[in-house]
Structure 1
Amino acid sequence: MKVLLTGSTGYIGRRLKQKLLNDENIELSLLVRNKKSVSSLNKNIKIIEGDTFNKDSLREALKNIEIAYYLIHSLSNENYKDLDKISAQNFLEIANECGVKRIIYLGELGVKNENTSEHLLSRIETGEILSSNKNIQTIWLRAGVIIGSGSASFEIIRNLVEKLPIMTTPKWVDTKAQPISVNDVLSYLHNSLYLDAERSLIVDVGSEQLSYKNMMLKTAKVLGLKRYLITFPFMSINLSSYWLNLFTPVNFKVAKALIEGLKSEVIIQNDNAKKYFPNTIPISYEDAVKNAIKEIENNQVISRWNDKGDGVWEKNPQNEISKAIFIDRRELDISNLDTSKVYQSFISIGGENGWFDFDFLWEIRGIIDKLVGGVGLKRGRRSQCDLRISDCLDFWKVVDLKENERLLLYAQMKLPGEAWLEFKIKDNKLIQSAYFYPRGVFGRLYWYSLVPLHYFIFNNMIKSIVKKAKNITS
């Protein structure tokens, strides 16, 4: 069976890719914007570079494909509703042209009414477009709150529960939802390949009905914490969004989209999951939380909600750096060191591992970033042991990574310009470079105001990287 997977660098897509690779009955193809963003390349996978806005690359990707997964969403863009429509229409058109038999789409639970958020409405409209051609069968799976290590919903709930013994909450915490374990979602997606059905289907999936308040209290129970929630019905969407922005890893934009979606219930509207997938029985919410926590504790987080964000890592980083006006560069001789240990030292930076001494300055910068609607430092790292291209690292994004040679980070904090931080091993030297491309006069003033701090931070950073490399024993 020839299968195409789109969205393979996203939260669900990256996990589904691993599941599909273990299925010997399929030949897997991936449509990605940049081959470097695909981890664990396999010789049996066909990789096509392109996107759903390029019909030529779509034709190449969908040629001879029998079943195609559509796991694409443009939420990171301002005009995501329009982009989602164009993307779905292009995909359906070329899929029909190429003779695709089945499209499998993962949308969200919810119905159209006066309270439907723009985000949810876009997901519904995408499903309607993909289901509109009678020549192609569409299996439209709809899930609500997905619980798993690295999922946006779980990271929000976990962060709130862990950090706030007493929470003042808006009235949306009483909204009903039907959460589901990420592993159950993957099971439905995988089994949809073999589904015996002749017509298009909408399949709503989820476990027990719970309010968001119940979810937080159950999460606290699993974590062994006692928490109290006090509801304030007058808390606005903006105020709630700022609240999430400050205390959880999500930025204001994502927080607002999620909060707006909580105005209406997201519960199952049909029994097709039981009818067509009788062997998939969703686990309980508490068990899903336990599984997520276990993955985090064992450093086995396969993907995170922010793996696929604004797509900046899909650009050519070398061309982007070339436009930088300001550069702070430090070099140290490492001829007496094992380069692999130096590499291991600098790729361990950030998250719980810290930023080598001046962590309090990074914390202050992260707090400021959160206050102005940025991502801050709360995203941390997916893993404290390794990195891959597209990983988030506090308020940076990994845009290039070459083993024992280079790490390039792109700044995602709020800035009057663009910034990169690079670590490179070349000619027996460790070269550490901070690049900045300012926007206007304020951007230049911003850089010059930080020059004194940069002297201490970056000078100490490169020395600490080398010092840590010397202490690595294996």
Structure 2
Amino acid sequence: MKVLLTGTTGYIGRRLKQKLKENKNISLRLFVRNKKSLSSNIEKDIEVFEGDTFNKESLKEALKDVDTAYYLIHSLNRTDYKNLDKISAQNFIEVAKKCNVKRVIYLGGLGVKNSDTSEHLLSRLETGEVLSNQKDVQTIWIRAGVIIGSGSTSFEIIRNLTEKLPVMTTPKWVLTKAQPIAVDDVLEYLEKSLFLQEKENLIVDIGAEQLTYKQMMLQTAKALGLKRYIIPLPFLTINLSSYWLNLFTPVPFKVAKALIEGLKSEVVVQNDNAKKYFKDITPMPFIDAVKKAVKEIETNQVISRWSDNAGKIWEKNHTKEIADAIFIDRKEIDISDISKSKVYKSFISIGGKQGWFDYDFLWELRGIIDKIIGGVGLKRGRRSQDELRVGDSLDFWKVVDIKENERLLLFAQMKIPGSAWLEFKIKDDKLIQSAYFYPKGVLGRAYWYTLIPLHYFVFNNMITNIVKRAKKS
């Protein structure tokens, strides 16, 4: 069976790719916006097509000769995501019909349309409706609510709040009911949907036990060995709740607001098709899913994170923009007496729990300021302390290029008046560390000049300590 997977660099997509690669009954093909977001050796084993769902020609190439296609695309990172999601889904199903695709499998959200339905959830429901409207292509619409797994948005929010706040004054949405589900169970339903014998369109609602968000946080506290108290307050608005999540969790304000708006509505199973068509799947209890997620984090086994999605970084020509940068802070240091691989391993392990050397407090302060003004802050950390790949988040940076024993290029995602990059490069017998900045107007220039004294200490300290650590390894 020829299978196309879209959304390959997203939270579910990365994990499903790993699972499908191991299935000997299928021939897997990937559809990505940029091949750089994949491992460099992946094309040796799997077909990779580059393009996006707004380009029908690239879709035709990717869907040619495909039997089943997974649709795991969502445009939440874009301003007009609701309209874009509709266009994307319509393009996909139209081209799928022309290419004689037999089945499309879509992962959407639980919920029903009513006056309280959030724009985010409404968009997921409408996407499913668009995909299910094409009679010549069967659509299996898997609907999940709160997904619990290492690196998932929902789990990161619940875990961070539970760990950091012994007493929580929460909005009334904590009493809303939901049916969470372990990410491993979601993947199981998605994979087994390939081999269903049913020929008609299907909507399959999936979930474990029904819980309120308050019960989820209390069970998470129990799994973590903590005692927590939750006091719901009726007067906390959506905006206040969003800022609250923004400050205490890794999730930026925009994502937090979209999620909070969705918490007004119950997201519970509406049909029994999961039991009817997937009798051999028994969803994992919530507390067991939490324990498994925590273990993966502790053992550095996180495959994907909610922040993996590269967003708009592929829309930038980083090479050109760096060449146009007006301000550059460059440091060089001799490494002729150290193995290049040790230097490389030293600079790719920067950030996250390991921090930024002696001036961590300045990075922390910058992260707090960024969070206050609606940025991503430092709380995203990193997926793995020892490994990086293109598309990974690293505190308030995003990895846009990485070459083993040669280069790491980070693009700044904090709120700044301009664009910034941080590059580590091994050339001949030197480590070259460069900070590039392209200012936006007078404010951008003032921002750079204000930070020059701090850059002097921070960047000198950084390159020196990278080399020191490499020598000790």
Identify the TM-score tier after normalising by the shorter chain. Answer: over 0.9
Q: Which amino acid aligns with 2:331?
A: R
1:315 CA displacement = 3.9
The question of 1:33 aligning with 2:33 is answered: yes
Q: Which amino acid aligns with 1:375?
A: V
The question of 1:420 aligning with 2:406 is answered: no
Q: CA–CA distance in 2 between the matches of 1:468 and 1:43?
A: 35
What is the aligned partner in structure 2 of residue 400 from structure 1? 401
Q: CA–CA distance in 2 between the matches of 1:316 and 1:471?
A: 37
The question of 1:176 aligning with 2:204 is answered: no
What is the aligned partner in structure 2 of residue 144 from structure 1? 145
Matches within 5 A, 1:351-362: 351-362=352-363
What is the aligned partner in structure 1 of residue 237 from structure 2? 236
The answer on whether the counterparts of 1:406 and 1:422 sit within 8 Å (CA) in structure 2 is yes
Q: Deviations over 1:168-188 (max 9, x none)?
A: 000000000000000000000
- SS of 1:139's partner is strand
Q: Which amino acid aligns with 2:187?
A: L
What is the aligned partner in structure 2 of residue 56 from structure 1? 57
1:43 CA displacement = 1.8
The answer on whether the counterparts of 1:408 and 1:422 sit within 8 Å (CA) in structure 2 is yes
1:313 CA displacement = 4.5
What is the aligned partner in structure 2 of residue 5 from structure 1? 5
The answer on whether the counterparts of 2:328 and 2:436 sit within 8 Å (CA) in structure 1 is yes
Q: CA–CA distance in 2 between the matches of 1:189 and 1:319?
A: 40
What is the aligned partner in structure 1 of residue 193 from structure 2? 192
Unpaired runs of 5+ residues, structure 1, are none
What is the aligned partner in structure 2 of residue 454 from structure 1? 455
Q: Deviations over 1:7-40 (max 9, x none)?
A: 0100000000000000011111111011110136
1:317 CA displacement = 2.3
Q: CA–CA distance in 2 between the matches of 1:154 and 1:174?
A: 17
What is the aligned partner in structure 2 of residue 155 from structure 1? 156
The question of 1:78 aligning with 2:79 is answered: yes
The question of 1:247 aligning with 2:277 is answered: no
Q: CA–CA distance in 2 between the matches of 1:372 and 1:458?
A: 25
What is the aligned partner in structure 2 of residue 223 from structure 1? 224
Q: CA–CA distance in 1 between the matches of 2:5 and 2:270?
A: 27
Q: CA–CA distance in 2 between the matches of 1:164 and 1:313?
A: 37
The answer on whether the counterparts of 2:9 and 2:310 sit within 8 Å (CA) in structure 1 is no
Q: Deviations over 1:411-457 (max 9, x none)?
A: 00000011000000012110000000111100000000000000000
The question of 1:277 aligning with 2:298 is answered: no
What is the aligned partner in structure 1 of residue 166 from structure 2? 165
The answer on whether the counterparts of 2:75 and 2:81 sit within 8 Å (CA) in structure 1 is yes
What is the aligned partner in structure 2 of residue 469 from structure 1? 470
1:42 CA displacement = 4.7
- SS of 1:444's partner is helix
Q: Which amino acid aligns with 2:5?
A: L
What is the aligned partner in structure 2 of residue 318 from structure 1? 319
What is the aligned partner in structure 2 of residue 65 from structure 1? 66
Matches within 5 A, 1:278-357: 278-313=279-314, 315-357=316-358
- SS of 2:49's partner is strand
Matches within 5 A, 1:113-152: 113-152=114-153
Q: Which amino acid aligns with 1:48?
A: F
The answer on whether the counterparts of 1:422 and 1:432 sit within 8 Å (CA) in structure 2 is yes
The answer on whether the counterparts of 1:104 and 1:139 sit within 8 Å (CA) in structure 2 is yes
1:207 CA displacement = 0.2
TM-score, normalising length from structure 1?
A: 0.99
Off by >6 Å, runs of 4+ in structure 1? none
Q: Which amino acid aligns with 1:85?
A: K
CA RMSD of aligned residues (A): 0.8
Q: Which amino acid aligns with 2:289?
A: A
Q: Which amino acid aligns with 2:323?
A: S
1:323 CA displacement = 2.2
Q: Which amino acid aligns with 2:427?
A: K
Q: Deviations over 1:207-251 (max 9, x none)?
A: 000000000000000000000001110100000000000000000
- SS of 1:311's partner is helix
What is the aligned partner in structure 2 of residue 260 from structure 1? 261
Q: CA–CA distance in 2 between the matches of 1:247 and 1:444?
A: 31
Q: Which amino acid aligns with 2:335?
A: I
Once the two structures are aligned, what percentage of the paired residues are identical?
73
Q: Which amino acid aligns with 1:132?
A: N
Q: Which amino acid aligns with 1:421?
A: L
TM-score, normalising length from structure 2?
A: 0.99
The answer on whether the counterparts of 1:140 and 1:202 sit within 8 Å (CA) in structure 2 is yes
